A and B are shown apart, each in its own frame.
Chain A
Amino acid sequence: MKRVLGVALGVLTAIGGFVDMGDLVANAETGARFDMNLAWVVVVGGIGIVLYAEMSGRVAALCGRPVFDLVRERLGPRFGLANLIASFFINFLTLTAEIAGVALALSLVSSVNYLLLIPIVAFLVWLVCWRMPFQMMERVFGLLGLCLLVFAVTLWKIGPDWNQLLSEASHPHVPGSESVFTYAYYGIALFGAAMTPYEVFFFSSGAVEDGWTKKDLGENRANVLIGFPLGVVLSLAIMASAHLVLAPRHISVEQLSQVALPVASAVGRVGLAVVIIGIFAATFGAALETALSAGYVAAQYFGWPWGKRRSPRNSARFHIVVVLTLLGAALFGITGVDPVKVTEYSIVLSAAALPLTYFPILVIANDPNYMGPDHTNGRVVNALATVYLVILLLVAVATIPLIIITKGGS
C-alpha cells in the first residue's frame, strides 16, 4: 500500500495536468470534431512531459532545487521575471477555470447556479492550501481523481472496433470539414495542455515538500512513469468516447456537462455519479496545483521561504500570494466569464511560454555540480529532450499567429 501511495504525487500532478477543466473539454471537443486525428498529439505531449518531469524531479531530489529556482538562476533576473509574469498569468487563468469547473461539477448534483458556488469552492481550495498536510492532499485528490477511469470503462462498454480506432489514430489526416489552421490550433492546445508548465512547477516543488533525496530517485521514476501515462490514457479514453458517442449525433462540446454524456449513455447512473466525483477531484486537484504553483513560482523567484511543510507563519509571503491569487481568480470567475474559453486560451498561451521553463531544467540536469557525476542526463535523454526543445520553440512561435488566423479555433 505504501508503494501505491508513493506515486500519489505523480498521479495528482498528471490528473491535474491532463484531465483538468481545460483538457476534459479540449479532449472531448477534439474527439467530437476531429475524430481520432489528433490523438497522436496527446501521446507526443505525454512523452515530453515524462522526459521533463523526470528531470525536474531528479534535480529536486538531488539538490533540493525546484524548477522556478533554476529558471531564475539560469535565465537571470530579467528573463526570469518575464517567465514569472507569463507563468503567473497563465496559472491565474487556469485557476479561474478550475474553480469554475469544480463549481460546475457541484452544480450538476446540487442544481444551484455555479456562480453562487464559486466563492465556496475558492474558500475550500484555500482551506486545503492553508491547513491540509501535503501528503494527505496528494493522496486524497490523486486517488479520487482515479474515478475518471470510468471513461475507460465507458469505452469498453461501447465496445468499439479497436482495430479501426487504432488505425484511425495512427493514420492522422485533417478532416474535410476543418482547415489546416484549426487542426494546428487544436493540436497546439492539446500539446500545451499536456506539457503545461505548472505540472513541473508543482511536481518538483512537491518533490521538495515530500522531502525526496537521492534515495527517492526510483520513486521519482515510478511517479513519472505511472502518473503521466495514466493521464495520457485518460485523455485518449475521453477523446475516443466523445468521438464514438457525440460525433455521430453531431453534438459539439461546449460545456463540462457534455463531457460526461458518453459515460451516462454507456454506463448509466452509477457511471454518471462516478464521473462527477472524478471531475470534481480532478478539477479540485488542478485548482490546488495552480493555486500552490502561484505561490511556488513567486517565492522561488524571489528566494522567499515557501511550502506547505512549513507553517503559514514561517512562509508568510508564499501563503499571501496563494490567498490573493485565489481571491483574484474567484472574483474573475464570478463575473461570469466562460470557463471553457478561459481555459482554452490559457493552454494555448502556455504553449508560447514553454521553452523558457523547460530550457533551464535541461541545462541543470546536465550539470554535475548539481547532480553529482553519476546522475546527469544520459545521451538518449539528452537527444530526446533536445528534439522536444526544438518542437517547443516551433510551437511557441506558431501559437500567437494561429490564435489570430483561426480566431481562437472557431
Chain B
Amino acid sequence: MAHDRVLHATLDLLDRQLRDRNGVLCGNVDDVEIEIDDASGQPYVASIVTGPGALAYRLGLRRLGTWLERASTGLHDAGDAPLDDRIHVPIEFVTSIGPTIELAIHAKQLASYDTEQWWVDHVITHIPGNDSRATE
C-alpha cells in the first residue's frame, strides 16, 4: 500500500473485520477512541474498540453498552495480555489496515471471545464430531 494514502477513520476503520495474529476472525471495529496529542493539538486514533458493549453503544443502546463494557473489562485475562483491558486495542497493535484489520494479539485476549468460549465449553464439547476437520 502506498505510504501517502490518506486513511479515514470512519471509512477505513469502523466496522471492518478484525483478524488476530494467527489470521483468526476476532470481531469487528465497533468503535474507535480518539485522543488529542498534547504537543501538537492534533487528534489521533489511540485505540480500536471492539466487543458487544461498544456495538450496543453505537447502536444507541447506551445503558446496555456501558453495562456490557463494564462487565467485560472486569474479566481480566491473566495470560500473555499486554493490553490494558479486553475491549481497547491500542493502535500500536494494529499491523495492517486493508479489507481486514490485522492485529498483533491473540483472539483470546479480547472480551468478544468469551461468548465463543462459553458455547464451546457448554454446548459444542458435548456434541460428537465437534472436532471433525470439515476440510477437503
Contact = CB atoms under 8 A, between A and B. Distances in A.
B39 interface: no
A131 interface: yes
B136 interface: yes
A64 B99 contact: yes
A77 B55 contact: yes
Interface in A39-98: 63-65, 69, 72-73, 76-78, 80-81
B72 interface: no
A135 B131 contact: no
A81 B59 CA distance: 9
Interface residues of A, number: 37
B87 interface: no
A78 B59 contact: yes
A309 interface: yes
A311 B133 CA distance: 5
B134 A313 contact: no
Interface stretch (A6-14, A195-203, A297-305, A398-406): A297-305
A39 B112 CA distance: 49
B100 A73 contact: no
A367 to B, nearest CB: 9
Interface in B92-136: 98-100, 107, 112, 115-117, 119-120, 123-125, 127, 129-136
Q: Chain B, interface size: which category? A: 35 or more
Contacts of B130: 311-313
B129 A130 contact: yes
Contacts, number: 98
B98 A369 contact: yes
Contacts of A308: 134
B65 to A, nearest CB: 11
Contacts of B58: 77
B26 interface: yes
Q: Which one of A64, A304, A306, A316 has the greatest number of beta carbons of chain B within 10 Å?
A: A316
Nearest to A321: B119
A316 B124 contact: yes
A308 B130 CA distance: 11
A311 B136 contact: no
Contact of A73 (B15, B60, B123): B15
A64 B60 CA distance: 30
B16 interface: yes
B100 A65 contact: yes
5 contacts: A130-B129, A135-B136, A304-B25, A305-B24, A310-B134
Interface of B: 14-18, 24-28, 30, 50, 55, 58-60, 98-100, 107, 112, 115-117, 119-120, 123-125, 127, 129-136
Interface of A: 63-65, 69, 72-73, 76-78, 80-81, 130-136, 299, 302-306, 308-314, 316-317, 319-320, 369-370
Given A305-B26, A369-B98, 8 more contacts: A64-B99, A81-B59, A132-B134, A303-B50, A305-B107, A313-B120, A316-B124, A320-B119
